[in-house]
Structure 1
Amino acid sequence: MKKIIKHFFLLTGLATGCIYGINKFIDTTSGIKKLLSSNSGHFFEWRFGNIFYTKHGEGSPILLIHDLHPASSSIEWSKMIKKLSKQHTVYTIDLLGCGRSDKPGLTYTNYMFVQLITDFVKKVIEQKTDVIVTGDSCSFTLMAANMDDKIFDRIFLVSPPSLESLVKNPTKQTDFVKKVLELPIIGTFCYNLQMLEDKITDLFEQKYYRKKAFISANLKDSYYESAHLNHSNGRFLYGSILGNYTNINIIPALKKLENPIYILGSRDTQTSIRIIDSYVKYDENIETAYISNCNKLPQLEEPEKLYEIISMFYDE
């Protein structure tokens, strides 16, 4: 019996050591190309951590907010900055838990991101701004506008999530997943398995891009690096997302908001069309536009088309 127990602890120790070694290898190699340099930007000292941001151009301000995913960062807007900064002061931000910003070990909630972008606008931009936002980040952007009508003017939503997905609440099952991901060694290992280079490639080919040939290796490497910066502590954000802590019902806000709202989506997916129609159902003043030959991220796949549509709405 003693031998069995001894062998059990020995094997457990070896397995833990191997997992730790794999985590360490990914931590060391994921950022070796240094594609996400912080030298090009600044840091906003926020209450929960330092927030990386950039500022380009002159004119009325526009804030660009990337999709809420631990592999995402302001690199998502890299093809739009130069175009928009010809007439605007363009701010990009790496959300807390993403990219070059800090990734503290806490529960990330929708309201926390509401506070983050509200504070960023008030303390960094220091005036009412237009905002262009992608994916799941649309929810807390709308909630921020609903809570404070002095921060945003025009609101552009790119590929917003379904209203149904945003009403999902934490459950015992989702909370268990969150707690596993928060474990220091096993949690990091589970997170790393979900953020492998092959998984990032799948993300681009299945959700982000329609035309696979347009996906650059550098872009995928940037997302991979973003997911693993700060010792893969993006797992805390990932756990909160899977745990449904970043969700919120935005329908009451949609009914109340008086901001000009524009929704942009892919013409090539029925899901996108259905989602946009559901938003318009609650606010008939929302203006919509569709972009062909793209998937979730037209700012990377079809930046010229996206820029033309945004400019068209500005010229109205």
Structure 2
Amino acid sequence: MKVEPLAAAIVAEECVWSLSDAQTVLCYRRDGDGRPLLLLHSMNAAASAYEVKPFFEDMTLQVPLYAPDLPGFGRSERRDCVYSPEFYARVIIDIVKAMDLGSVDVLALSTTSEFVARAALEAPELFHSLTLVSPTGFMRRRSSRSSAAERVHGVLRLPLLGSGLFRILRTKPSIRFFLDKAFADGAPEEMVDYACASAAQPGASYAPFYFLSTQFFAPDAVGELYEPLKQPVLVLYDEDPNIGFDYLDEVALGRDNWRLHRIPSTLGLPHFEEPELTQAALVSFLEDSA
């Protein structure tokens, strides 16, 4: 069955970059004044820049906005390669270099928060501040990156089993089930439709299988990634059915560069459920850290 090309996730100017490893990345952008803000979607079976769309639609943010589809997702290249935290950290660094606008502010959703923290430690001169929305890595620490994850990934890549499982995961009922977890009143229909279209693209399973086999999570994100950060950090969060925040208060305690801000009555995507509160908190943080 012929698959229709994926439509634009955001009505905005588009640019395409070839990164250092020749991966091609599509990025949505909007002009503005001041330091640019890089907006990064999460990791899941149907992730794309659609997840940060509200930031483009609300004009509270007057700064330049950039929102790429990360490799393996959306309208960017979906090559069959090794996707890992180190890979995405390099990609994020390469994207900031491709922007060629000096240091940037970054907002990342969920698991991508770990990748951004890793990138900011590797190239601190490129990252002025970090905003983490429902970030992973604050649950009970894992002692090591388990080899079991690689075995699970190997099973997922078995032609019949893997393709069959992904066909189930990308059905509309399945995608709606997972997206609904982030919304008290259910996910917007347009968001569900776009996620379904994105997950139906050729190569759509390559990166998600690394995520589903838990290979994207650092064994000790708190000690390895978050505690060493020197940049100003804002965490936007409340309740999240998939993520715990056991160590969040502990990390922020005594660290003047960390700010925690709850967006009440939200379930992981506060910029969709409470856009005004979310953007007000973000704007205040960006102004204070300028």
- Rounded to whole Å, the distance in 2 between the matches of 1:266 and 1:226 is 28
Aligned-CA RMSD value: 2.7
Show the 5 A alignment for 1:145-224.
145-164=120-139, 167=142, 169-172=145-148, 174-206=149-181, 208-212=182-186, 215-224=187-196
- Rounded to whole Å, the distance in 1 between the matches of 2:132 and 2:168 is 31
Who wins on radius of gyration, i.e. which is larger?
1
What residue number does 1:42 align with? 15
SS in 2 for 1:131: strand
What residue number does 1:276 align with? 248
Identity, % of aligned pairs? Answer: 19
What residue number does 1:62 align with? 37
What residue number does 2:64 align with? 89
Name the amino acid aligned to 2:66. Answer: Y
How far off is 1:221 after superposition? 0.6
Tell me if structure 2 keeps the 8 A contact 1:181–1:236: no
Tell me if structure 2 keeps the 8 A contact 1:195–1:227: yes
- Rounded to whole Å, the distance in 1 between the matches of 2:29 and 2:200 is 25
Tell me if structure 1 keeps the 8 A contact 2:140–2:246: no
- Rounded to whole Å, the distance in 2 between the matches of 1:143 and 1:34 is 31
CA spacing shift, 1:84–1:110, aligned 2, 3 Å = farther
Does residue 102 of the first structure (1) align with residue 77 of the second (2)? yes
Higher deviation after alignment, 241-250 or 62-71 = 241-250
Higher deviation after alignment, 267-276 or 60-69 = 267-276
CA spacing shift, 1:147–1:166, aligned 2, 3 Å = farther
- The TM-score normalised by the length of structure 1 is 0.80
SS in 1 for 2:132: strand
Instruction: Structure 1 unaligned segments of length 5 or more: list them.
Output: 1-23
Tell me if structure 2 keeps the 8 A contact 1:70–1:226: no
What residue number does 2:210 align with? 240
Name the amino acid aligned to 1:171. Answer: S
Tell me if structure 2 keeps the 8 A contact 1:209–1:294: yes
Measured against aligned partners, the alpha-carbon deviations of 1:69-122 in whole angstroms (never above 9, x if no partner) come to: 231111111111143575211000111111111111122110000100101101
Name the amino acid aligned to 2:269. Answer: L
- Rounded to whole Å, the distance in 2 between the matches of 1:315 and 1:129 is 13
Name the amino acid aligned to 1:56. Answer: R
What residue number does 1:312 align with? 284
- Rounded to whole Å, the distance in 1 between the matches of 2:228 and 2:160 is 45
Instruction: Structure 2 unaligned segments of length 5 or more: list them.
Output: none
- Rounded to whole Å, the distance in 1 between the matches of 2:84 and 2:44 is 13
- Rounded to whole Å, the distance in 2 between the matches of 1:273 and 1:184 is 37
What residue number does 1:53 align with? 27
Tell me if structure 2 keeps the 8 A contact 1:49–1:96: yes
Tell me if structure 1 keeps the 8 A contact 2:61–2:279: no
Tell me if structure 2 keeps the 8 A contact 1:254–1:282: no
